Chain A
Amino acid sequence: MNTRPDLLPGEGPDNPSRRQALKTGGLVVAFLWLGGGAKVLGRAGQPGRIEAGDPAFAPNAYIRVGAGGAVHLVMPSIEMGQGAYTGQATLLAEEMDLGLDQIVVEHAPANRRLYANPLVGEQATGGSTTIRYCWTTLRQAGAAARSLLVAAAAARWKVEPAQCTVTRGVIRHEASGRSAGYGEVAAAAARLPVPERVVEKDPGAFALIGKPLRRVDTAGKVDGSLPFGIDIRVPGMKVATVRACPTIGGKLLAVDDARARQVPGFVAIVKIDNAVAAIGEHFWAAKQALAALDIRWDHGPHASFSTEQLFKELADASRNGTPILAREVGNVDGVKGKAVEATYELPLLAHTTMEPLNTVVHVRPDGCEIWTGTQVPARAVDVAAKVTGLKPETIVVHNQYMGGGFGRRLFEDSIEQAVAFARQVDYPLKVVWTREEDLAQDRYRPAYHDRIAATLDAEGRPVAWRDRITSASVLAKFAPGAMGKNGLDSDAVEGAAELPYEVPNLKVEWVRHDLPEGLHPGWWRGVGPAHNVFVVEGFVDELAHAAGKDPVAYRRDLLQKNPRALGVLDLAASKAGWGAGTLPPRVGRGVALATPFGSYLCVIVEVEVSPQGGIALRRAVAAVDCGVVVNPNTVEAQIQGGLIFGWTAALYNGITIRNGAVEQSNFNDYRMMRINETPPIEVHIVDSKEVPGGIGETGTVMAFPSLINALFAATGVRLRKYPIDRSALVQGADALKAVVTEAFDEAATAVAKGAA
């Protein structure tokens, strides 16, 4: 039994072997073993605690084996639908020779020292990084745990560890017929020195990795039993809902709650500088009471701000601002040939996670407990400490399953606000935002104004390429320390600076133009690439057209030195039947290719456009090379869902601001794609032994250009902004008249037949 729950077993200054592991393990493993007083087990009631007493064996931050044999795995990333828990559990269980049915997954406590994601530099889940960073870390952790457990059994039996096998957590020594479960040797394993080197399984021996295993989190999601953050109920809890000043940067002046007091179940109102919350015995009372408040706002300095103004400012900054160089290859100046240029504009976007933002907070004089679903648990502690003045070690975050994240839950603003309300009352307070509040107070994907140009040689190939991107900076807000020395936001140019294509002369620049104070830019699924790949791939399509070349053939020609990209291009073209047969009028296919997050994707979309400009997606084919696949079922799901997420934005979305306030309010005016608009989506996965690439955001990246290019193929209309303007796709007036006349005649004939 580990008697020092505040330390990792075998850890501390008295254990040089652990230090050695740190030195030999490289950067990623350093996070695993970094020692010295870590509270891996946490406080009572905190995730990470598995049974009465401490786990017998806890060799690292991820694995807890109880004396009874229960194996609990602590998930360093969070689960918001992307399948991270299943992927991470698979990596650990694979190396531990366990089945996924034998493990229990747990949310990690807030602890950036133990659970920081080295690719993000924070305890954060985002950027399609989970499998990329866990691939080695968690297999190392699992293999180390298994080697210790086997060594303990072998020592007991006085045999060689290499003579032992493990099946489903049972260690066997065939020659002597002895066997022991992990629980039986857990305590002994905890006393063994950690090996300096552990060998991961040979990929040929994988029993779980690569299989379409059922997710570990879904059984409780089909019968309503799995709680999300919004489902948390704490004894004595009241429920609040919020209205913050709808005007950017505005403040609360005064509130009259006389009418709210008449609402049955009303409890109280609480105020902060820019928002008011109505508290009720239940959400309905809170919502009714909030609606009954007479609120006076100070609308502040941006009360006349509009999106028209924003796009004008971005266009001005693009021409007159100071560009920061992101990447330069060769020299774009003086290159002769045919010039092509275009301007693309992208709107502000909201996340609209299905689960509205919510936080349960109980602030006591000696500490604070928070129940919420967050992509940044450690930051939740930071803001609670800041708001309450409590010491961080007295603040406990119980992270929860999330009803979607998409980047919204990378921001802790709603948690900070909930704590600021909850510290004013002495009971646990659940703060739930309405959908209207969600749309009005999002951390929006910033708007972009991109000017892109190329010079084509005699064969139509781009010999010079310029891209000047103008936008606000998400990175400067999220992680100022990660900004480049020259002030570059690497996210703003991701997907633009490094092209998959061969281009001899290239210059990519970024002009920073901040949003008004109080209008916060945020990460949005697909991040930098979702913005840039739309522009780059739309423009490559324009170049193909200018060169008089087929869009697939044009790309193939430029990918001769990029075999993995070429592979997905050819696979998608072949599966889609590109170039084969004739398509009906106003039906077109669009192709997009990109290499986001370490993966290679090509998507081909087929659309039909009605004479009135109505858009129907008929079919989509995706080819994906994301290296080694941990779970093909998850890869397919993420591509399908990611595409729909992006198409939704392209087809319908765009946050607009008038008089300083967001105009959209709910799903009636911020539309989502629905099942009847969804085409069949085929996903073809390349068999690969390369290191895993990211997958969760890649579909979204591909969605925009594949759709826009298909619309061009169907109509000849090149769209360079979204949400898509249907009026631009309306067929010529004469053609439209003919269609309407025909339909009218058909109807008249049918009526005449009916009458006869």
Chain B
Amino acid sequence: MLILNINGERKSVDVPDDMPLLWVLRDVIGLTGTKFGCGIAQCGACTVHLDGLAVRSCVLPVSAVGDKAITTIEGVGASEVGRKVQQAWLAIEVVQCGYCQSGQIMSATALLAGTPAPSDAQIDAAMSGNICRCGTYVRIREAIKQAATGRKLVPQTIPNEAAAASSGTDAPGQAFLSVRQEDAA
């Protein structure tokens, strides 16, 4: 019986020592936000934090975790950095299919937690372990910068509550759109 500290909660699990943390999270505890992509630490979809550092849970035996704090995508929004990353991800709409994005967000959050104002090269280095088959890399780079600086250098999406179709003349989306274009200019 192992005791794991996951997203601030203690969970006891009865699993083989060599079982990768990924499958303990997904198939035993039921935290399915962490994804399986390759099983050999090549794609990064399974990235979680151990004491704030990004690790590939598909090759991490659960017995090696010890009492380190595990943070998954379900819990990363509890930190200010994690929340800013998630918000930036939505604001410029990084996500397409979304399957790799749990891992991308975990890698990005670990980067910004240690390097609050990363250069392009630092972003590339920290994120190059995460494959995105949809090819969202351009926006990942932009979203990390936006999360780091708060500056909106690229077009923002219109949050859906701000955009409403209407048969009248009032269209809240318009105002947002003009702001967006100023930002982009």
> Do the two shown chains form a genuine complex with each other?
yes
Where the two chains meet, the residues of A that have a C-beta atom closer than 8 Å to any C-beta of B are 80-83, 93-102, 165-168, 205, 207-208, 211-219, 221-228, 230-231, 233, 239, 264-265, 281-284, 287, 352-356, 401-406, 432, 434-435, 632-633, 637, 640-645, 648, 666-668, 672-676, 678, 680-681
How far in angstroms is the closest Cβ of chain B from A203? 13
Is the beta-carbon distance between B20 and A284 smaller than 8 angstroms? yes
User: For the complex, is B60 an interface residue (Cβ under 8 Å from A)?
Assistant: no
| Contact digits for B23-54, partner A, Cβ 8 Å, 1 yes 0 no | 10011101111111111101101000000000
B175 to chain A, nearest CB (A): 11
Interface hub of B45, B93, B165, B170 (most chain A Cβ within 10 A) = B165
State how many residues of chain B have any CB contact under 8 Å with chain A.
74
**Contact at B134–A668, with CB atoms within 8 Å?**
no
Whether A226 touches B98, Cβ cut-off 8 Å, given contacts A233-B30, A282-B27, A644-B137, is yes
**Residue of B at shortest CB range from A233?**
B30
* B99 & A208 in contact (Cβ 8 Å cutoff): no
A672 partner residues in chain B, CB cutoff 8 A:
43, 131, 133
CB of B178 to closest CB in A, whole Å? 11
Contact B133 A404 (CB under 8 A): yes
Cα distance A668–B40 in the bound complex, in angstroms: 9
Least CB distance from B41 to A in Å reads 10
* Cβ-based interface call for B149 (8 A): no
Q: How far is the CA of A166 from the CA of B137 in the complex (A)?
A: 40
Rounded to whole Å, the gap between the CB of A553 and the closest CB of chain B is 29
Inside 8 A of B70's CB, which chain A residues have their CB? none
Known: A215-B95, A668-B42. 18 other contacts (CB 8 A): A81-B95, A101-B161, A211-B163, A214-B159, A217-B95, A218-B90, A218-B95, A225-B33, A283-B27, A354-B35, A354-B100, A356-B36, A645-B133, A645-B135, A666-B38, A673-B137, A674-B127, A674-B137
The answer for the CA separation of A422 and B152 in the assembled complex, in Å, is 50
User: Across chains A and B, which 4 residue pairs bring their CB atoms closest together, nearest first?
Assistant: A224-B33, A403-B99, A81-B97, A644-B135
- Set of chain B residues within 8 Å of A673, measured between Cβ atoms: 135, 137
CB atoms of B97 and A354 under 8 A apart: yes
B95-127 residues with Cβ-Cβ distance < 8 A to A are: 95-102, 105, 123-125, 127
19 cross-chain CB contacts under 8 A: A81-B134, A101-B160, A167-B167, A211-B163, A212-B157, A214-B90, A218-B98, A221-B98, A224-B31, A227-B32, A230-B32, A283-B23, A354-B132, A435-B37, A435-B38, A641-B136, A675-B123, A675-B141, A681-B138
B20: A residues at CB distance < 8 A: 284
A80 touches B160 (CB 8 A): no
Whether the pair B98, A225 counts as a contact (CB closer than 8 A) is: no
**Chain B residue at minimal CB-CB distance from A643:** B135
Interface residue SS majority, chain A: loop
Q: A588 to B42: give the CA distance in the assembly, Å.
A: 31
B165 touches A93 (CB 8 A): yes
**Chain B residues with Cβ under 8 A from A401's Cβ?**
97-98
Does the CB pair A354–B131 fall under 8 Å?
yes
B residues whose Cβ falls under 8 Å from a Cβ of A: 16, 19-20, 23, 26-28, 30-40, 42-43, 45, 72-74, 77, 86, 89-90, 93, 95-102, 105, 123-125, 127-141, 155-161, 163-168, 170-171, 173, 177, 180
**Contact A218/B160 with A224-B102, A637-B136 known, Cβ cut-off 8 Å:** no
State how many angstroms separate the Cβ of A427 from the closest Cβ of chain B.
15
* Interface hub of A165, A213, A353 (most chain B Cβ within 10 A): A213
Contact of A224 among B34, B159, B163 (CB under 8 A): B34
Q: B40: which of A83, A96, A222, A666 is its contact (CB, 8 Å)?
A: A666
Contact yes or no, A355 B136, CB < 8 A: no
Q: Which of A165, A208, A403, A435 contacts B163 (CB 8 A)?
A: A208
Q: Which residues of B contact A668 (CB under 8 A)?
A: 40, 42
Least CB separation from A637: chain B residue:
B96
Give the complex CA separation of A703 and B64 in angstroms: 43
Cα separation A327 to B171 with both chains bound (whole Å): 49
A95 to B167, CA, bound (A): 9
In the complex, the chain B residue whose C-beta lies closest to that of A281 is B27
Asked whether, in the complex, the Cβ of A284 is within 8 Å of the Cβ of B19, the reply is yes
Output the least CB separation between A512 and chain B (Å): 31
CA distance A432 to B39 in the complex (A): 12
Q: Hey, which chain B residues are within 8 Å of A402, CB to CB? A: 97
Min CB distance, A382 to chain B, in Å? 25
- Between B102, B135, B141, the greatest number of chain A beta carbons within 10 A of the residue's beta carbon is seen for B135
Given A166-B167, A354-B131: A222 and B93 interface contact (C-beta under 8 Å): no
The minimal Cβ–Cβ distance linking A152 to chain B, given in whole angstroms, is 16
**In whole Å, how far is A404's beta carbon from the nearest beta carbon of chain B?**
5
Question: Given A214-B90, A282-B23, does the pair A81, B159 have CB atoms closer than 8 Å?
Answer: no
In chain A, what residue has the closest Cβ to B180?
Answer: A212
Contact of B99 among A99, A212, A228, A632 (CB under 8 A): A228
* In the complex, chain B residues whose CB is within 8 Å of the CB of A223: 33, 73-74, 77, 86
Q: Cα distance A218–B140 when bound, in Å?
A: 14
Decide: A637 near B93, CB < 8 A? Known: A205-B167, A224-B74, A354-B132.
Answer: yes
- Residues on B with beta carbons closer than 8 Å to the beta carbon of A643: 135
Q: Which residue of A lies closest to B123 (CB)?
A: A675
